[in-house]
Amino acid sequence: MRKPLLVIAAAVGFGLVAATSLPAIADDTVVTFSITTAGLTISEPGSENLGSVASGAASVSGQIGPVTVTDDRGTLNGSWNATVISTDFTTGGGTAPETIPNINVTYSPGSATATTGTGTFTPGPGGIINVPRVAFTGTELVGDNTATWNPTLTVTIPAGKVAGTYSGTVTHSVG
The pLDDT value recorded for residue 45 is 94
% pLDDT > 70, the chain: 88
| pLDDT over 60 (residue 112) | yes
pTM of the model: 0.81
φ, ψ for residue 17 (rounded to 5)? -65, -45
CB proximity list for 75: less than 8 A, separation 6 or greater:
141, 142, 143
DSSP 39-60: EEEEE--S--------TT-SEE
Q: Which domains does the chain have, with CATH numbers?
A: 35-174 (2.60.40)
- The helix (H) or strand (E) run that includes residue 19 is helix 2-19
Q: What is the mean pLDDT of residues 164-172?
A: 97
Residue 11, Cβ neighbours under 10 Å: how many?
10
Local confidence band at 15 (pLDDT 50, 70, 90 cut-offs): low
Return the pLDDT at 25.
83
User: Please, are residues 122 and 136 in contact by the beta-carbon 8 Å criterion?
Assistant: yes
Using pLDDT thresholds of 50, 70 and 90, give the confidence band for residue 4: low
Predicted confidence at residue 38, as pLDDT, reads 82
Task: List Cα–Cα distances, 106 to 102, 155, 161, in angstroms.
Answer: 8, 7, 18
Query: How much is the average pLDDT of 154-168?
Result: 96
Q: What is the pLDDT of residues 18-35, one digit of tens each?
A: 556 677 888 888 888 887
Q: How far is CA 80 from the centre of its chain?
A: 7
What are the Cα distances from residue 33, in Å, to 19, 29, 36, 45, 150?
41, 13, 10, 37, 38
Segment 54-99, tens digit of pLDDT: 988 899 999 999 999 999 999 999 999 999 999 999 999 999 999 9
